[in-house]
A and B are shown apart, each in its own frame.
Chain A
Amino acid sequence: MKITIDNKEIEVEGKKTILEVAREKEIFIPSLCDHPRLAPFTGCRLCIVEVKGTRGYPPSCGTYVEDGMEVRTKTPKLQKLRRQILELILSEHPNACLICSEKDKCDEYKSTIRKVGETTGCVLCSNNGRCELQDVVEALNIKEVSLPSLYRNFEIRKDDPFFDRNYNLCILCGRCVRICHEVRGASTISFVYRGTEAVVSTVLDRNLLDSGCQFCGACVDVCPTGALAERAVRPEGLADKTVKTICPLCSLGCELKIELKGGRILRSVPSAEGPVNQGQACVKGRFTISDLVYSPQRIVKPLIKKKGRLEEVNWEEALDFVARKLRKYKSNELAVISSSQATNEENYLFQKFAQQGLKTKNIDNTARYSPLACYWEWAQEKVLSPRLNFRIKDISQAKTILLLGADLTISHPVLGLSVIEAVKNGAKLIIVDPREICLNRYSSQWLRIKPGTDFYFLNSLSKILLDEEQSKETSKIKGFESFKKSLDEIEMTKCSEITGISEEDLKTTSRIMLDDGPAVFLFGLGLTQHPSAKDNLTALWNLSLLRKAQLYPLSLEHNGRGELEIRRSFREGLDFKQISQAVNKKIIKALYLAGPFPLLEKKKPEFLVIQDSFVNENMKLADAILPGTTFAETEGTCINLEGRIQKLHRVIEPSGEAKPDWWIISQLAQNMGYQGFSHKSPFQILKEMKKTVPAFAGISNALLDNGKEIFIQEGKEEKGKFIPLEYKRPPSKVRKEFPFLMLIDYNLDYYRGLNLSKEIKGMRIIRDSRWIKINPEDAEELKLNDGEEVEFGSGSKRVKGVAKLSDAIPRGIILASFLFNEKPEFSVSRLSSGLNPDDYPLKMLPVKIYRGK
């Protein structure tokens, strides 16, 4: 269709508002409440226009173009009305600086005043220079405000982590409320009261922390004024440089814009162009990056043990020392632990160093326990080659979503948004989790399953589906008959008893399952961190064939998928657990740690090298410590959980003498005299990988730079087949002496050696890694108070925690954070290291709670 705006003829396609079209054509229409991610609000009334044949002044943000429309955006009448409306806004907003004749000359030095609590003018406002109100005042050329001030004198809310809320600066554009509701699905904030008292607030005006806020910061990012201000950068002013890179704090790979001032990171904001996150981030990506990079826990100099003490040395000496020591060991006495938070190039080099240099196959890392790696390992065993790549955007198009054992809002927050979007588009969400998770409010069905009984649940569901509907296509799939036969062994009543899910709920679930439309099964650690993980996967696989659903395994760490792809192209020796056992048994004598590892305590190997960016507990035992950089100081590529390969950009110079991991490994390898480690940059490594790692075929630095979406290569997907089921012992019962089952809250709150939910204040407030979540009724029986220190464990193995009462936790269960980098007395990992991990996986350890002091 054709329309004219200010006599300019414009061709328009699709459903668009006048404002959208005007923006595309760079025709400026002032507006304050509109936002590209949000539905039209039409509250600020600044974007009003004249449309021929239409009465009054329709707002361009809420008026969709129609063929032949004649729009005028700048008639004197409009401009006058806009100015009057803007004056009304300014009469509520501190405006002295906005209209001050000296505003251009006002000096920088006033920025220190920003530290004062009250904002009475722009120079005192943290948003100075970013403020959209300033832009509009400028555009409409407001020189004075003739109306008396209506300063509202709200108390500034400073009682939440990360940001302050000063509603005296709020213009009630509602963007924060709308993004919280429409995009984030949290609906933490809302408008309250009417008339001049109208303000944005929470239920009963509690603080955000107590109102279910996830602190994703989306509200701060959309706020056009300084009403919502990130506390850490309040006094800092504007950035002078912005670098885009990929967030390393979960496997989604959100693109962040890191803002710098004088070479120092100010803050990180989600990039609107980010293909994965499209302007969204989570609390970690939004608020912890600069604290992480500049953490006092950083190691910035190499250290080696001299006469029993760690001493700072230069790199040459450190590398010489490590090379000399490592040369002493036979290949089967050596093991390397890498990190799936490192880049592809670094992981490749770790592998190459271990396998071709040290000649050991004993290299692994924690990513082995991710649902993705479990799934892949299971598929190998079953001789299946399922696709691992998927598209997040397919989730928002799904009609049925089954979410098993993952609290996405915490573990993969931005992925959770796609689930919410799907539900808003009419999808039915089924959640299978013993915990009440954030997404529950969007679910059609929440099946509060007894931990560890997924196998029974999934098979019961398959059985009902088969009983109710059996399409010809399914019965043609290989292995159908034997699968069907194996299902016959199931007794439904017994299954209800085992899983705790009523037959009625199962029926309802099956009815949802039988709906048409694309289905997606997402599964997390709840399904796979378990002795019967592989049986669970078989059951889920069969169910997915029945329902023609896509299986989406949730990778955990930043580059878990990349690490897996690289590992697949090398040989494998001892795995993570076996290495740990071999260390304990002193079979492994030299250990090279570049990633998380259980506390060694008294089991120190003869020679221990730790390469990390942050101090960690095992370092006390180390013979050499090599300071690696963080993601912000290095470059390279990484692969997110979808299989999307993205590029990390160097944001700042390395801190102190820290060096990127790839540099450390290549230098060490060269020092040891190995060939093939003379890379000058990560991209030279990538070039080599292109030939040696199949998934990287065709991927080049140049390709990554041209901004296209690139997914790694996958082998051909073979047709699926049903796998017959094998029934094993039912899950272990709770023993009297250990009445609680401990579940692990694997929330990925760490980066390399840094425990975010302990070392970063705001994170500690919202989810302290030392919290032991427990049902309030259980707590009452134990006479436990919220915040009380407790001891828990089984027998002589005990660790400490802080009781956190939570209705989300079912009775008889406690939920503990699992971090290798916790102090020994708080380290949950200690509970299991002595036990045979196959008996009691970390996820379901029977424990007892001993009261604190």
Chain B
Amino acid sequence: MKSRISLEKFEEIRAKILKERETEKTCITICGGTGCHAYGCLKVARSFEEEVKSENLQESVDVRITGCHGFCERGPIVVIQPEGIFYQRVELKDVKEIILETIVNKKIIPRLLYVDPRTEEKIVLEKEVPFYKKQERIVFGNNGFLDPADIKDYIALGGYQAISKVLFDMTSEKVIEEIKKSGLRGRGGAGFLTGKKWEVCREVSSDGKYIICNADEGDPGAYMDRSLLEGNPHSVIEGMVIGAYAIGASEGFIYVRREYPLAVKNITIALEQARAYGLLGDSILGSEFHFKIHVVQGAGAFVSGEESALMASIEGRRAFPKQRPPYPAQEGLWGKPTNINNVETWANVPYIIKNGADWFSNIGTEKSKGTKIFSLVGKINNTGLVEVPMGMTLREIIFDIGGGIKDNKKFKAVQTGGPSGGCIPASMLDLPIDFERLTEVGSMMGSGGMIVMDENTCMVDVARYFLEFTQEESCGKCVPCRVGTKQIVDVLTRITKGKGEKGDIEKLKELSNTVKTGSLCGLGGTAPNPVLTTINYFRDEYEAHIERKSCPAFVCKDLIAYYIEPEKCVGCLLCLKSCPTEAIRGERKKVHVIDQELCIKCGACFDVCPPKVMAVSKVTGRKKERLLKKVSSARAKR
């Protein structure tokens, strides 16, 4: 049975869509990413639609909810195309003004423009915003232009051209050759050469093969895969069809977490539309190639992102990783050869086919080609998703794109690659980012999480936090990961509680080594990275905790105390009133004192003390000991 839509028919459809859009209309695009959703972008969009109607502008103005623009810090984002006027933090009340001023009168509203914090200059165009300026948005490029729920937008932008190229002009060997030549490496973390991986799977003979799109993005703070599925699902589908053709798979699965309802919704809509357009199913575009895609929702276990665990989960079993070999390419889903790639990898594929391997391999470094999307989070001004060419330095990403550290604090470290990545210190800010370099310094690319930490971050506490996460998410199958991480967490917890002992650092290193070398899968194999890198780069902090019972960043509650400096206190009662445990005594205009025994170190007094006064301070280590001694001796006297 041939598909109802042949290639010719499809190209006719494309021509028709393009014709419809020939006249250049003004398009108000509203970012519909999850971040902007949270800011209420849907209400804004609806209001735009109403206003356009009431002003009778339907003929000349389109309103479109698009995929994520990436600059989540500034949502809801509204970009007026084709000019590319960038309005940020747009609220309901601004809508009418935008329509009247910008759309009708062609005037810019300065209030809504982005202000470069460094130059205090107001920036009109999206591409001029420093956050975007240094980015190279290939995979993300179309996110801001298309409505993910409308396949026509994707087709209008040249979508699904790669499929027809592949199906009718390329053999499967040729496709693999092209991907190999591009130097594309898996964006899921390990960075295996995608073309090579496909080739291995292609060469295994079997009566059935599968491909999988891994959209089980579990790293806390990383959300580029979600954004892609939400914002440009057809690019992922197109990539999968190409991969399936190259490998010879007839069925594909998108394994997406249930916690991503919008991604599930958009990909499901996109699949339906692709089927309706003859781009999925039997005889795709009238060719001899058949391929279908199913969406499987994961229940949210972190380990399900591990490929073998993911396949177990698709099969309906507990998400337990499996020893390799056999690799998925040999024995994967239901024992059949299976190729599994991450969302971002799949999304890169159509662009490589369309623009050629050479184009792609010109971007990036020698061994890491193309761009990579990072989710820039933490103590940074411009939180969001950034797509940069491989080889960009951390400094460029964090300071030029990210806009530097919040509140002008000092940069301390950046943690890359999710919870089992490593912490990279300030001295390495000029490290060009690619797969090898990150591994060399003890971290990893991972899925591209980038958590920026400032001077107020305790590195021991950070290590404990990440290990607690991986510990809780350990599947429990192998001993080193299940028990080893628990032992590490216990030692770290002990240290942050001021109960560290001599030799703890060595104990941690030894346990970390056991977990790293002994574990079954990548989860355990990388889980100790935060410990090892923080010991490596911030050993003095560990020593301060263990030897001096001091937390230099004033984070570990058990190691710090709050203290009101009598010389500075003006007796305003603010802290006294805010204290939840009534630990602060004092009278108006008289110096306040914190009862250390009642204090629960919530920091409320520290926060409310007026910046001019700054009488409340944190003390740690010997200072704290001295303070406590003073308090107890004072009590003894009484």
Contact = CB atoms under 8 A, between A and B. Distances in A.
Interface of A: 40-45, 48, 56-59, 62-63, 81, 84-85, 88-89, 91-92, 147-148, 150, 171-172, 174, 190-191, 193-196, 198
B482 A172 contact: yes
A147 B510 CA distance: 12
A57 B478 CA distance: 14
Given A42-B520, A88-B479, A194 B473 contact: yes
Which secondary structure dominates chain A's binding surface? loop
A85 B514 CA distance: 7
B522 to A, nearest CB: 12
Interface stretch (B139-147, B246-254, B389-397, B483-491): B483-491
Given A58-B323, A191-B318, A89 B487 contact: no
Contact of A150 (B473, B475, B487): B487
Contacts of A44: 478-479
Interface in B451-481: 471-480
Given A148-B490, A194-B474, 10 more contacts: A43-B477, A45-B480, A58-B323, A59-B520, A81-B514, A84-B510, A85-B479, A89-B483, A172-B476, A198-B475
Contacts of A85: 479-480, 514, 518
A89 B484 CA distance: 9
B342 interface: no
B475 A88 contact: no
A198 B482 contact: yes
A41 B321 CA distance: 10
B518 A81 contact: yes
Contacts of B476: 172, 191, 193-195, 198
Contacts of A84: 510-511, 514, 518
B490 A195 contact: no
B517 interface: yes
| A-B pairs, 3 with minimum CB distance | A198-B476, A62-B323, A88-B483
Contact of A91 (B471, B474, B483): B483
Nearest to A90: B483
Given A81-B518, A196-B471, A92 B323 contact: no
B477 A174 contact: yes
B321 to A, nearest CB: 9
B520 A194 contact: no
B519 A195 contact: no
B301 interface: yes
B478 A45 contact: yes
B323 A42 contact: yes
Contacts of B303: 194
B518 A195 contact: no
A190 B486 contact: no
Contact of B517 (A81, A92, A172): A81
Interface of B: 301, 303, 318, 320, 322-323, 325, 471-480, 482-487, 490, 510-511, 514, 517-520
A195 B486 contact: yes
Contacts of B517: 56-57, 81
A449 to B, nearest CB: 30
A62 B484 CA distance: 21
Contacts of A148: 487, 490
A449 B28 CA distance: 66
B474 A195 contact: yes
Nearest to A58: B323
A92 B482 CA distance: 10
Contacts of B483: 88-89, 91-92, 150, 196
B466 to A, nearest CB: 14
A48 B303 CA distance: 22
A171 B484 CA distance: 13
A59 B517 CA distance: 12
B465 to A, nearest CB: 15
28 contacts: A42-B322, A42-B323, A42-B520, A43-B477, A45-B478, A45-B479, A45-B480, A45-B520, A48-B518, A56-B517, A81-B514, A84-B514, A85-B514, A88-B479, A88-B483, A88-B514, A91-B487, A147-B487, A150-B483, A172-B482, A191-B318, A191-B477, A194-B473, A194-B475, A195-B476, A195-B486, A196-B486, A198-B482
A190 B318 contact: yes
Nearest to A41: B477
B523 to A, nearest CB: 11
* Among A45, A48, A89, A150, residue most surrounded by chain B Cβ atoms (within 10 Å): A45
A40 B479 contact: no
B330 to A, nearest CB: 11
A236 to B, nearest CB: 31
B471 A45 contact: no
B150 to A, nearest CB: 40
B323 A195 contact: no
A59 B552 CA distance: 43
A44 B475 CA distance: 13
A797 B125 CA distance: 96
A57 B516 CA distance: 11
A194 B518 contact: no
A89 B481 CA distance: 11
A195 B517 CA distance: 18
Contacts of A89: 479, 483
Contacts of A194: 301, 303, 472-476
Contacts of B518: 45, 48, 57, 81, 84-85
A63 B520 CA distance: 13
Contacts of A45: 478-480, 518-520
A171 B477 CA distance: 10
Contacts of A196: 471, 482-483, 486
Contacts of B520: 42-43, 45, 59
Nearest to B301: A194
A544 B630 CA distance: 97
Nearest to B469: A195
Nearest to B525: A56
B479 A195 contact: no
A39 to B, nearest CB: 10
A363 B271 CA distance: 75
A195 B472 contact: yes
A817 B215 CA distance: 54
A288 B603 CA distance: 66
Given A42-B478, A194-B472, A195-B476, A88 B487 contact: yes
Contacts of A92: 483
A58 B519 CA distance: 10
A380 B320 CA distance: 56
A621 B478 CA distance: 64
Contacts of A57: 517-518
A174 B483 CA distance: 15
A681 B478 CA distance: 56
A148 B511 CA distance: 13
A85 B482 CA distance: 11
Nearest to B510: A84
Contacts of A40: 323
A173 to B, nearest CB: 9
Contacts of A171: 479
Contact of B480 (A88, A150, A191): A88
